[in-house]
Structure formats: structure tokens, C-alpha cells
Chain A
Amino acid sequence: MENSQQLTALLIWPMLGSILAWFIPKASQRIYSLFISIVQFALVIYVAYPVITQTGQGLEQTLPWLSDLGIQLSLKLDSTSVWFVLLSGFVSFVVLGMKGQWYRRNTRLFSSMAFFLIFSINAAFLSSNLIVFYLSYEAVFIPMILMVGIWGSSTKANSVFRFFLMSFFGSILMLVSIFYLSYLYFLKTGIFSANLNDLLKLSNENSPAMLWCFAGFFLAFAIKVPLFPFHGWLKEVYVNAPAPATIWMSAILSKLGVYGFIRFVGPLFPEAILSAQGILLALAAFSVIYAAFLAIQAKDPKALLSYSSISHLGFVMLGVFSMGASAKTSAIVLSVSHGLTSLVLFYLYDLIVKRKEDVSLEAYSGLAKKFPILFVCLFIGVLASVSLPGTFNFVGEFLVLIHAYPVSALCTILAGIGVIFGAVYMLKFYQKLGFGVSSDAQVAEVAEDISGFDLIVIVLILALIIYFGFQPSLFLGGMTNV
């Protein structure tokens, strides 16, 4: 581990962006947001570059903040967190370039909240102190609630409440578990600490208390991911949220849950996971299948995409619960690929919605002829989502299945069947949107095919998806025994 002062830059810069946004004229907010987020992404790459190239080595930085409360601002960028931070930097930059009503109404609030969100996400991914992690994990709610509440669609209030209450319920029990772990550590050493490195010394204890603490953590992250049966909040929020919020939630915030499992739950409670591994794998596999069924039946395309997101995250969790370093790497690979795929799908769907007034799946038809380039892009996105070989998702799902098979053949096979269902609903999605009898009247007057910033960004993402589909070695440095 190298000691590095650069990690704080990843926190200070977005915070600065969040504050400065209030002093920028409304008309130039989009340019401003793009500028800040591109610089942020560049910063992330600059900081992450040495970590990626020399795997195993990481950066570390500790700042004294609230040491008398057991809180230390210790940041850590290693081969686990680096991918999530990179993904979040990239997604944020793409999302902030999207045009929409958030750049027309309450614009300053939007930019400010967006950068506050980036700040909290970075803090959550970087922190190796559990209390600071909890703080940032919770702080994510504030911008998210405001985004859904202000720029979301009309029936948003209840969905926001359900989202908030379910997540808050999970995370506050996690806080209690964190306290309890710190207390156990205190009993052992006489020092009150919530640092991961310290608490890891408790991990070989196998007591009922540890099992309860595991339950607290599990609930928090399972709701965040979400894993069946904790997915109740997801659909309404995804559907009602404005496009940037949906993308952030599906591409990044769900990964906070995944990251929490990989970073904290796995190392802290190896015994508890091993004893419950059968149930956990079954839950993950069932998530894949169940969400796929929900997606097949969904009427609203955005709901379909949301369910598909749950289904893919079930795969990720299958990888996480298989345990072991390589399984962990495969889960990370799939997380990143799912982040990119859901980014491109929700982005394109937003572009289509802007060209359409009616959002029921039945009402779409024959748009492919009108917007050929857009639908070619969407087709590649759909193929990526069904994990066609040659796309990034394929690499991830393949690796996950390989690593899950020795642990539980049954769950792996079940999840594998889920891939087929995935093809069913995604192709249905594409067919309904793109083909069928064209009905000109429903298309907005000003609609034109994808161009400009949108096109560049979409092509960039698709290129990344395909490139990593053929050349995933960048991610596989941590992989040992394939």
C-alpha cells in the first residue's frame, strides 16, 4: 500500500462542484456540469492508473477526522474499489451530458445535487472505515430523493417513500451492527475503532452475535442491490425517476450494495457466509429467474429494463456468494459490464421517450425505420444485455457461471436458464419498440435521429462494451486459477 494524497482530490473536487454550481448561470449549467464531471473522470483515471497497472498495489490515505468517536477518514483505493470508482466517474460524466428537463427546471439544484451524489458515491467506494462508509452510503439518499421527487414523473411520492424507508431500514440496522462490531473490538483491545483493518481481526470469531451482525449488513446490501425478496421498492422508483437518476441507481447505486458485499461482508463474516451459502446462492439464482419472469410480463419498457437490472444483479450476487478471489473478480467484471449496459439501455430509452409521448409498450411500433442509427445502437445494447459472446456482459456472466458451478451446480444451472429468459424479454423489448406497423402520428414533430453528443457518447460506450468483450485482460489481473 502506498500512501497517497491524491485520494482526497476525488472527494474535494465534486464537493467543490456542488458548491460552485449555485454561482453559475442557469443557461450554462449543462456545460458547467459536463466540465466538472469530465475533469472528475480525468482525475479518477489519473489516480486509478497506477493501481490498475500494478495490480495488488493500492493507494491509501488517512486523515484525522473524528478519531475520538472511532471514526477515521481512511481512504483506500485498491484493485476492488478502483473499478467501481472508474465506473462511477464514467457514468457520471455521461449522465450529466444528457439533455432533459433537469436542465430547464431547478437547474442549479440539479447540478449541485448531482455533484453531491458523486461526492458521496466516491466517499462510499473509497472509505475503509465502516462509519464513514455508512455516512456516505446514507448521504446518497438525499440527492436521490430530491432527484426523483423534483424531476420525476407524477406518481413519484409514494415510490420515493418506499425506496427511502426500505433502504433506510436496512442501513440503520447495518449501523447498529457496525457499532456492535466496534464494541466487540473494544472489548478485545480497549480501543474503539470502526476501521475495516481493525475489525477484520474479529472475522475468525464464530459466535451468534457475529451471525446477527451479518444479518444487519446483509439486509442493508440486499435491499440496495436488490436481491429477491427485497426488490419491492425498485420498479416504481426506476420507472418514476428521471433518466439520470435511474441510470445512477441502476449503474452505480446497486453496485454500492455489491461493493458492500465484496468489501465488507465477505471479509468480515466468512463463517456466516459459508454457513448460509446455500440459501444465499439460491436467493441469487432465484432473483435471476424471478426478475426475468417479471420482465417478460412487464408492459412498461422502463419497468422491463428495471427488472432486467435485478436479473443481472442476481448474476453478480451469484458470483459474490461463490466466495474466493477469482469469483470476486468475476463479480466485479460483471458489475462493471452491467453498469455500462444499463447505462446505454436507459440512455437510449430516454432518447426514444423524448421522441414519443405515449410510454406503454403496446403503443410503440415501427420506430426503427424512423430512427435507424438510434435503433442500431439500441440493438447492440440489447445484444450486450443478453450476453452475446463478444460483448462485455458475456465475459462477466461466463466467469461467474464458471466460478459458481463448483459451489452449487443447481443454482448455476438455474441462473443459466435465466440467460435464455433474458434473451426472450430483451428481444421482445426491441421488437416492440422498433418493429411492427409504423404509426406516424405518435412521433413528436421535432424528432430526428440520434446525433451530436448523444451519438458520440453512445458509440463510445458501445465501443467499450465490445472492446472489453474481446479484451477483458485489463480486469482479470486479480484472477488466479481460471
Chain B
Amino acid sequence: MFDSSTITLIFPWIILGFGIMATMLASSVRIETRLPAKLLTIFTLVLVMITSAKLFNLDTTITINGFIEVSHLSCMTLFFISAISLIFVVGSGGYLEKEKLHISDFYNLVLLMVLGASVLVSAKDLFVMFIALEVMSLPAYALVGFRRNDSRSNEAALKYFILGGALGAVYLLGASFIFGASGSTQLSQIFEWSKIHNGDVLLFLVGHILVLFAFLFKAAAAPFHFWKPDVYEGSPVAVTGLMATVITTAAFVVLVRLFHMVDFQSQSFVPYLESLKQLIRVVAVLSLVVGSTIMILQKNLKRLLAYSAINHTGYILLGLLGTMSKPEQIYSVWFYLAGYAVISCGLFLLLSQSETRNDQGLELVDLTGLMKRNPLVTALASIFFLSMAGMPFTVGFFTKYTVFMSSIASGEVVFVIIAAICTVIGAYGYLRPVALMVMRDPDPTAAEFNGTKSNQALIIMLAVLCLVLGVFPQALIQLTKGMELIP
């Protein structure tokens, strides 16, 4: 049942599949042959970006057999995910070289992860979602443990794998409950069912919450966050960056879809909506508080960023809370994800430049007095940190702005106040590294920052993007407003 239009619709995935096979072949020839694999990966990702960009001007949403959706939302996320992966692939060559990880398997696994993430963001069926989730997660486990001689890397991989596997099982259990209650695994049919359904929804609610747990785990919302600091610390920086951006984005797209799985306008789901809202409130507030307060105690920079990611998850959930009664506010979530990805992309690429003397990873004290030795890196890092803190004239301000606005518009004032206080606490956490860099005299034992040219250029580009979006966020907001959620 192939007609030509379907093929154009799934072109990005076909290209990704070919890319994965080609890079696999490249690694089977000789494991040290990395240039062909790298070039192939770049080529594949660029092609994916082009083909998904071609689908932007699609006016309608097309669902292929009820399983896969091709819409503005899925195409833009796909474009975005491949762009970010491209940035990491181009920018982290020097780092991989330095860590002696530069083998073609890395690229193969990254492409596999992108494939999983890209199917995940378009999945409209609970089982397609599960398969895509596993396709995304398995390479991620392998990538986390990529430094095989490092015990922390191994620990992180094992922890991530076991917890991820367990939560996968929880997801399946939840999906079976949903199937039992509604009689379908397709999101659109579940939506239709919820419109006409009258009566008990308890089984469905349990299933729904279990399914959500799995993705709240992937997005590292508290109290499902315990793996995050260890995994961030243990994995190679480039992988941490990919996790912070690609996996978070994919997980949130699915989370939003799953939250809006039922029609909240329908009569029997009114109390249901309230209990679901309660769940997000608890998780969001916990993430905000845990993320911001524990962040300010961290000494290791990657752990700090892990808690910062938990904190940001809280903001995004707050935005999600705002969309529960006003679905048109969904753009605030996308905008936050895009802005956050730009910032963390830059920050993690910058971290990949660092060379510490010991093998303990980059500690905060390693930044002491960096301004005197390396003003450019200091300026770039300060832009990213201030952006994370949400200072004006950086993209971080407007991401928080839209999220706060959307949740106040749906009446969640108390939670916005809590989030605002957490912003202040978090700002202290982000300001600490900046203060160390700027205000102290240089420390001869501190870390060195040496990046390759492509890495440096990318970081500067991202920093400029951070500032430009901090003054003119309109274009991005317009784009994200086009990413409507279609049940």
C-alpha cells in the first residue's frame, strides 16, 4: 500500500535508516575508521533536516494508519532534534579524540538514538511509542557507558539501564490498562472514546498515570530524578548534552501528547482533569524545589547541570499545567524546550573543551579566575549561565516568561509564585560559577579550555543565538505557535 505521497512523508525516517546501516558498515570495516562514519552521519542528519523542512508547508496533519502522525509538530521537532544532534556531532569531535572515544560506533549509536526520538515524537499509538522509546533508550544506555574503563561511566550506564528497563515495564502495564479500559491503543481512538464514555474511569486513570510515570522518568521530573545526577556525571560530555536536549525534547513531546490523550471537555472527565492537574502540580513543585535547592550545593559542574535540568523540567511541567485548560498555550512548552536546548547545547559543548588535571570531571573550583586566563570562554559561559538563570536579554528570560504567563492565565498563581522563588534560588546556583570565573584571581591548578575551531565556532554561534532570541524571540514563538497539538 505504498503511494508516492506516503513515501515523501516518511522520507526522513528512510534516510535515517539508511544512514544507520551505512555507519554500521563503516564500523564493521575497521573500528578506527571514523571519518567516513562522521561524514556519513553529518550527511544523513543534513538530509533529514532538509526533508523534514520540506514537510513544514504541509497544511494538514496526516496520520499513517493511525500509528504515525506527520504534522507541523512532528516535523518541526524532527528538524530540531536532527539539528541539535548535528551540532553535537560536528562540535564534539575534539572531545571524543581527547577521551579516546572517537570510534565510528559513536556515530552509529547517535543516529539510532535520533531515529528512536524522531519516531517517538510522531507516534500516535501506545505501542509504537513503546518501541520508539526503546529504540531511543538502548543506544542511550550504550552511549552513557561509552567510557568503558571508567567505573563511574559503567555505574551510570547500569543504573540508567536498570531503571529505564523497569520504567519501560511500568509503561507497558499502564498501556495494557488503558487498552483494557478504552479498547484501543491508538491515541485518536482513545480520544474519541473519552468523548462518549460515561461512567467509571478508575482503570483508565491508573493506566494513564503509569504511562505518564515512564515519561516523567525520562524527563527526570522529581521524584523520578535520582538517576539523573549520576548518569550526567558518569557519561561523556557529548552524550550528556545529547541527553539534555534530544531525549528531554522527545520525552516532553510524548508527555504532552499523553497528557492530552483524553478530551477534558467531556463530562465524565472533569474530576479526572482535576486529579491529573494535582499530579502535575506535585511533580512540578517537587522538581522545582529539589532542582533548585540541591543545585546550589553541588561542586561538580555536571551534577549542577543535572539538578538544573530537573529544575527546568519543573518549569516545563508548569507550562504543561497551563495548557491543561488552555490548549492553545502549548507553544510555551515548545518554546521553553527550544530555548533550553539552545542554552544547554552551548554549555555542554563548552564543557567538552575543558581539560582538568585529575580525572574527577570538571569541578566548580576548576573555573576559578578563568576570566584572566581565557576571557572568551568566560564570556560565553557567563552568557549561558545567565541565560539558564533567566536574566533579561537572554533567551532564558522569555522561556520563563511564556511559561509563567501561560500558567497564570490558567489561574495557577500560587505555583507561579513558588516557581518564582525557585528561580531566585536557582539564580544563586548559576551565579556561583560566574562569580568564581569573574571575581577570583586565577588558580594555576584550574582547568584549561581548548576547543577545536568547529567547536568554538558553534559555541559562539549558540551564544549569539541566545542573545538574539533574548531580544527578538518573536520568530521562534511564531514557529512554536504553529505546532498545534492534534488529538
Contacts and interface: CB of A to CB of B under 8 A. Distances in A.
Interface of A: 66, 68-70, 106, 131, 134-136, 138-139, 141-142, 145-146, 149-150, 156-157, 160-161, 164-165, 168-169, 172-173, 175-176, 179-180, 182-183, 186, 192
Contacts of A161: 428, 431, 435
Contacts of B413: 176, 180
A69 B405 CA distance: 9
Contacts of A156: 439
Interface string B385-428: 01000011100011001101100110001001100110110011
Contacts of A146: 438
Contact of B431 (A69, A164, A176): A164
Contact of B435 (A66, A138, A139, A157): A157
B359 to A, nearest CB: 29
A206 B421 CA distance: 26
Interface in B415-467: 416-417, 420-421, 423-424, 427-428, 431, 435, 438-440
Contact of A183 (B371, B397, B408, B440): B408
B213 to A, nearest CB: 30
B428 A70 contact: no
Contacts of A173: 417, 420-421
Contact of B428 (A69, A165, A182): A165
Nearest to B407: A179
B477 interface: yes
Contacts of B423: 168, 172
6 contacts: A69-B401, A134-B392, A142-B386, A150-B438, A172-B420, A179-B405
A230 to B, nearest CB: 15
Contacts of B386: 142
Given A156-B439, A165-B424, A169-B424, 9 more contacts: A68-B474, A69-B398, A69-B477, A135-B397, A136-B392, A157-B440, A173-B417, A182-B405, A192-B405
Given A66-B474, A164-B427, A173-B417, A139 B392 contact: yes
A175 B404 contact: yes
A176 B390 CA distance: 14
B408 A180 contact: yes
B473 interface: yes
Contacts of B474: 66, 68
Given A161-B428, A168-B427, A149 B438 contact: yes
Contacts of B397: 135, 138
B427 to A, nearest CB: 6
B402 A69 contact: yes
A172 B416 CA distance: 10
A482 B423 CA distance: 46
A156 B413 CA distance: 36
Interface of B: 371, 386, 391-393, 397-398, 401-402, 404-405, 408-409, 413, 416-417, 420-421, 423-424, 427-428, 431, 435, 438-440, 473-474, 477
Given A70-B405, A165-B424, A135 B438 contact: no
Considering the complex of A and B, which 7 residue pairs feature the smallest CB-CB distances, nearest first?
A149-B439, A135-B392, A172-B420, A179-B408, A139-B392, A138-B392, A169-B424
B198 to A, nearest CB: 33
A165 B404 contact: no
A209 to B, nearest CB: 8
A156 B473 CA distance: 35
Nearest to A108: B375
A398 to B, nearest CB: 39
Nearest to A148: B439
B295 to A, nearest CB: 14
A179 B409 CA distance: 9
A2 B477 CA distance: 33
Given A135-B397, A161-B428, A175 B420 contact: yes
Contacts of A138: 391-392, 397
B334 to A, nearest CB: 15
A149 B427 CA distance: 16
Nearest to A106: B371
A141 B473 contact: no
A169 B421 contact: yes
A63 to B, nearest CB: 12
Contacts of B391: 138-139, 141-142
A1 B257 CA distance: 50
B464 to A, nearest CB: 13
Main secondary structure of the interface of A (DSSP, over half): helix
A127 to B, nearest CB: 12
Nearest to B402: A69
Contacts of B402: 69
Contacts of A66: 473-474
Given A69-B477, A161-B435, A164-B427, A176 B420 contact: yes
Contacts of B439: 149-150, 156-157, 160
Contacts of B420: 172-173, 175-176
Nearest to B420: A172
Contacts of B392: 134-136, 138-139
Contacts of B398: 69
Nearest to A120: B392
A139 B393 contact: yes
Contacts of A168: 423-424, 427
Nearest to B423: A172
A107 B169 CA distance: 60
Contacts of B408: 176, 179-180, 183
Nearest to B473: A66
A135 B424 contact: no
B94 to A, nearest CB: 27
B4 to A, nearest CB: 38
B262 to A, nearest CB: 27
Contacts of B393: 135, 139
B67 to A, nearest CB: 35
B403 to A, nearest CB: 11
A179 B332 CA distance: 15
A172 to B, nearest CB: 4
Contacts of A172: 420-421, 423-424
A126 B391 CA distance: 20
Contacts of A160: 435, 439
B401 A183 contact: no
A70 B401 CA distance: 11
B253 to A, nearest CB: 23
A138 B404 CA distance: 17
Contacts of B416: 176, 179
Contacts of B477: 68-69
A141 B440 CA distance: 19
B47 to A, nearest CB: 34
Contacts of A192: 405, 409
Nearest to B398: A69
B305 to A, nearest CB: 20
A180 B415 CA distance: 12
A212 B424 CA distance: 19
Contacts of B473: 66, 69
A307 B338 CA distance: 46
A149 B435 contact: yes
A138 B420 CA distance: 14
A158 to B, nearest CB: 10
A131 B404 CA distance: 13
Nearest to A160: B435
A78 to B, nearest CB: 24
Residue from A70, A164, A186 with most neighbouring chain B CB atoms (10 Å): A164
A192 B405 CA distance: 10
B434 to A, nearest CB: 8
B400 to A, nearest CB: 9
Nearest to A132: B392
Contacts of B405: 69-70, 179, 182, 192
B417 A176 contact: yes
Nearest to B432: A161
A42 to B, nearest CB: 27
Contacts of B404: 175-176, 179
A172 B401 CA distance: 11
